Amino acid sequence: MILPSWLDDPSLQSVWQRLRAPLERGARTTRLVGLDRPTRHALSGVLERPVTGDTTLALADLDAILRRRAGIALVDVVEACVGPLRDRAAERVARLAPIELLAGVDSAWAQRVRVSGILTRVPDPVALVQQAIAVRAQLPGATRLRTELAASVVGDAHALDDGRPLAAVVLRGLVHVVPGTAAGRRAVWQDVGVLADTVSTTVLTLGLRPTADGARERALRAAAEVGDPVHITPWSLRRMQPALGPGDVLVVENPAVLEAFAGRYGGRVPVVCTSGWPAQVAVDLLRGLGAPLRYHGDFDWRGVEICSWLQTHAGVVPWRMTERDYRAAPGGGPLQGRPVPTPWEPSLADAMAERGEAVHEEQVVESLLDGWAG
């Protein structure tokens, strides 16, 4: 924009610069102090009145003068001289929008997120908050991996990884104070049924004899020959072909059961142990074995939930996990946690709720050892 010379006067540059902040914040007036003589003289020409010292400007009046005399708005003059103005009112509305969105769900959550400053460090805070609300709406729920939850709700399996903005916002909706350690944050997720998987996770195995002839496959066969359990890492699994020959594979929940099979059978029975809720490496291994999978776990709510989850995600078939098996076993303490269905035998969940006792896998290990042989 080309300004008239009486507006483009260098003596007025400091005036236009001083008007930036009042215009950005939507002020009605501003006071100019300490103006030098050339500036006062130039400003007098603009205002059509003498300016002999400090002066207060009504910005609407100045805008009207400029429009009348030059057909140019005050904002346009200032932007032509000092650069684009920020719309601070709009910025404030935009800044408050995600917080107000959160407050509509949980005002305490909104306050914790606001003071954290997380939303000031992301390009689209409204979208982030919308995702966080969608994730939190799923919690607590059926136990699942954190990557699975993120992929299903957000479309990015790593959106809830530790340190990501979405994880930080969701955590503040789950607890008043977010733990300062990764282990503490994993515990928060676990309390609402979300399990973190890490690259350091391994899966415990026994008696696996892959048919491929790579170095890792040969190492597994050698361990099976002498009955040694083997921990398989994600690193190793990605670099092997784990497919087995004919025969069923036993999948158990507890390492003590795998140890008992090693003690009786050496490496003659192929066993995979999930060590509780299966990490992704365990699921990947089970999917890659290419063999029938028989699963046994604890008769508690977490144990039968694992069984159901592995049915869906790895194709296991429950083994000795019937209502009859449960009723025949000695009790191992009160059932804890949230009841879940047992789709392979619905009456099992009813029997567990009625009896109210857990049966841990270790309590029935002898019958498992005998049953596999039979």
Contact (CB, 8 A) for 319 and 277: no
Residue 159 to residue 137: CA distance in whole angstroms: 16
Shortest CA distance to 143 belongs to which of 322, 299, 317, 278?
Answer: 278
Residue 279 to residue 203: CA distance in whole angstroms: 8
Instruction: Give the amino acid at 365.
Output: V
pLDDT reading at 311 higher than 80? yes
**CATH 3.40.1360: which residues of the chain?**
203-373
- Ramachandran class of 315: left when φ > 0, alpha when ψ lies in -120 to 50, beta otherwise: left
pLDDT tens digit string along 283-296? 999 999 999 999 99
pLDDT tens digit string along 113-125? 999 999 988 989 9
The domain at 203-373 falls in which architecture? 3-Layer(aba) Sandwich (3.40)
- Weakest-pLDDT range from 152-161, 199-208, 224-233: 199-208
Contact (CB, 8 A) for 58 and 29: yes
pLDDT reading at 93 higher than 80? no
pLDDT tens digit string along 211-224? 999 999 999 999 99
Instruction: Give the amino acid at 351.
Output: A
pLDDT reading at 198 higher than 60? no
pLDDT score recorded for residue 190:
83
Contact (CB, 8 A) for 257 and 273: yes
| Mean pLDDT over each residue of the chain, to the nearest integer | 93
pLDDT reading at 56 higher than 60? yes
pLDDT score recorded for residue 57:
95
Label residue 19 by pLDDT band (50, 70, 90). Answer: very high
What are the b/e assignments for 260-289, b being 16+ CB within 10 Å? bbbebbebebbbbbbbbbbbbbbbbbbebb
Residue recorded with tokens 């080309």: 2
- Ramachandran class of 2: left when φ > 0, alpha when ψ lies in -120 to 50, beta otherwise: beta
Label residue 197 by pLDDT band (50, 70, 90). Answer: low
pLDDT reading at 199 higher than 60? no
Q: Residue 20 contacts by C-beta under 8 Å, 6 or more apart in sequence?
A: 78, 82, 85
pLDDT score recorded for residue 86:
85
Q: Residue 192 contacts by C-beta under 8 Å, 6 or more apart in sequence?
A: 139, 140, 141, 174
Residue 288 to residue 283: CA distance in whole angstroms: 9
pLDDT score recorded for residue 182:
81
pLDDT tens digit string along 324-352? 999 999 988 899 888 999 999 999 999 99
Tell me the mean pLDDT in the region 144-164. 90
Shortest CA distance to 287 belongs to which of 315, 312, 263?
Answer: 315
Residue 256 to residue 358: CA distance in whole angstroms: 17
Label residue 173 by pLDDT band (50, 70, 90). Answer: very high
